[in-house]
Amino acid sequence: MTREAARTGTGPTTLVAVEQKLPRAERIVDDALAAAFLPAAARAFLACCGPRIARWMMQATERKYPGLWGGMLCRKRYIDEALQDASAPVEALVNLGAGFDTRAFRPGREPGPALPAWELDQPANIEAKRRRVAARFGNVPVHVRLVPIDFEHEPIAAALAMQGYERTRRTFFIWEGVTQYLDEASVRTTLDFLSTAAPGSRLALTYVRQDFLEGRELYGAPAMYRRFVEQQRIWRFGLDPQTLPAFLAPYGWRVLDHPEPEAFERRYIAPTGRSLTCMPLERCVLAQRVAHGGS
């Protein structure tokens, strides 16, 4: 993963923080911690930002990058709900490429000990997050481990083991907004690691469509193609929705849910009454680790 990719880590959290400036009934995501995890300049701007500016930012982004704002927020809401699914209890959270995500630090749905969590990202992002978490809480909460790693050159299993993670834990893995920044070899190396997860573990991942990266279908987002594929060249890996189940199956993962962007719009955007769309060039998947020989 390149340094340019690492710099994108604050983007999704910024959108979430701006979202909090809207009335609760209009929000797709509720996250009171998001602003605290952002750089000082962003926090200063947010302190002066009200609902009117927040709506203007959303509309301006929608015009330039159709579906980006709504898509990012919908995928976060979807993963939040999957993590909180009481029908599929887990014993640990591992966030692969956590950026400045706040999930590990939010209060849980039920009273009791917080879910043990390991957050992995590039060293620069991890150190920046460590400072902001310490500023917000006084120190990093004891249930969270911040793990610096270069996904393209360092083994995930070793990095986690050094921080006390045990593969026997039934784990919820988050791989959100990351795969497109990796090369195929690194994606498969990560899946090799995930193939050793405990049966019953769950994986929420996002990916960019392969036909978009190849320029065969731009899904109404030519500005995003020019920026991320042609100019910055930081989006490098994509998948085909039709072949995704077969891609994951050899690693022991079975697709549970693979919602269409239109489903996100109906489920999360329509109730807010906002004129947002959900970008079709990115998809979100929920999968489960099956036992050896399972189906």
Using alpha carbons, select from 202, 55, 49, 34 the residue that is nearest to residue 129: 34
Residue 210 has pLDDT above 80, yes or no: yes
- H-helix or E-strand spanning residue 54: helix 51-64
pLDDT of residue 291: 78
| 293 pLDDT more than 60 | no
Helix (H) or strand (E) holding 254: strand 253-257
Tokens encoding 42: 């962003």
Cβ neighbors of 137 (< 8 A, separation 6 or more) are 105
d(CA 258, CA 284): 6
Average pLDDT, the chain: 92
Matching CATH number, 3-289, of 3.40.50.300, 2.30.42.10, 3.40.50.150, 3.30.70.890: 3.40.50.150
Report which of residues 258 and 114 the model is more confident about: 258
C-alpha 78/C-alpha 31 separation (Å) is: 14
Residue 294 has a pLDDT of 44
The residue type of 23 is P
Q: What is the pLDDT of residue 295?
A: 40
Question: Where are the domains positioned within the chain?
Answer: 3-289
For 48-76, what is each residue's pLDDT tens digit?
899 999 999 999 999 999 999 999 999 99
Total-model pTM: 0.94
- Residue 247 confidence class, pLDDT cut points 50, 70, 90: very high
What are the two backbone dihedrals, phi and then psi, of residue 51, each rounded to the nearest 5 degrees? -55, -35
What pLDDT is attached to residue 260?
Answer: 97
Poorest-confidence range of 8-17, 235-244, 263-272?
8-17
| Model pLDDT, residue 6 | 52
CA distances in angstroms from 45 to 41, 68, 88, listed in the order given: 6, 21, 39
| pLDDT classification of 112: cutoffs 50, 70, 90 | low
| pLDDT reported for residue 186 | 95
Interatomic CA distance for residues 46 and 43, integer angstroms? 5
**Eight-state DSSP code of residue 50:** -
Candidate from 40-49, 216-225, 259-268 with smallest mean pLDDT: 40-49
Amino acid making up residue 127: E
Q: What are phi and psi of 142, to 5 degrees?
A: -65, -20
Give 176-189 pLDDT, tens digit per residue. Answer: 999 999 999 999 99
